[in-house]
Amino acid sequence: MEKTSRNIILIGFMGSGKTSVGLKLSYKLRRPVEDTDKLIERREGCSVSEIFARRGEAYFREQETKLLEDLVRTGHECIYSVGGGTPVRPCNRPLLRQLGTVVYLRAQPETVYERLKGDTTRPLLQCEDPLGRIRELMESRREAYETCAHLTLEVDRMAPEAIAEAIETYLPGAHG
């Protein structure tokens, strides 16, 4: 088995818990965790919101693809939580699946809305009707998430610890 195939990739909408689950999983499996938004921020020297404001969303999406291409090449045994929009670009989907086992954390729009009410760090949700936007975006992304995922978990009523446990159970060999 290729080394990169043992990475675990967490995908899902903003607020689905990818970052917190990644951290829990990292303790459990004793593997490093990386958040791709943070890696892009480090490369660019500014926050995701600043990248959107200064360079636009299309530029940010290009950086997501470039980063995935680099990660596929470097292939550490890692857990990656990726930005909610990463699976939307069709070329990113095979890259994500090549990078490792893709786990989709699926949450309902209302769950996401409750969690992200008042958040100012997601440029796509800074609008008059964030719940409407969440519903719309989620619907348009549904197929992207589903075609990308090796494993899907319904996470609305689950705490990050329980989600991490479920991933550990469903991915035998995750301990390496």
DSSP annotation of 119: -
Amino acid at the residue 73: R
Give the residues across from 151 on adjacent strands: 103
Q: Which stretch binds ligand S3P (CB under 6 A): 1-9, 96-104, 122-130, 150-158?
A: 122-130
Report the alpha-carbon distance of residue 11 to residue 57 in Å, rounded.
Answer: 19
Six-digit token string for 163: 């989600």
Q: Does 135 bind ligand S3P (CB under 6 A)?
A: no
Q: Does 37 bind ligand S3P (CB under 6 A)?
A: yes
| Beta carbon nearer to ligand S3P, 148 or 176 | 148
Pairing mode, strands 7-11 and 79-81: parallel
Q: Does 134 bind ligand S3P (CB under 6 A)?
A: no
Q: Does 14 bind ligand S3P (CB under 6 A)?
A: yes
Q: Does 109 bind ligand S3P (CB under 6 A)?
A: no
Q: Which residues bind ligand S3P (CB under 6 A)?
A: 14, 18, 37, 48, 83-85, 122-124
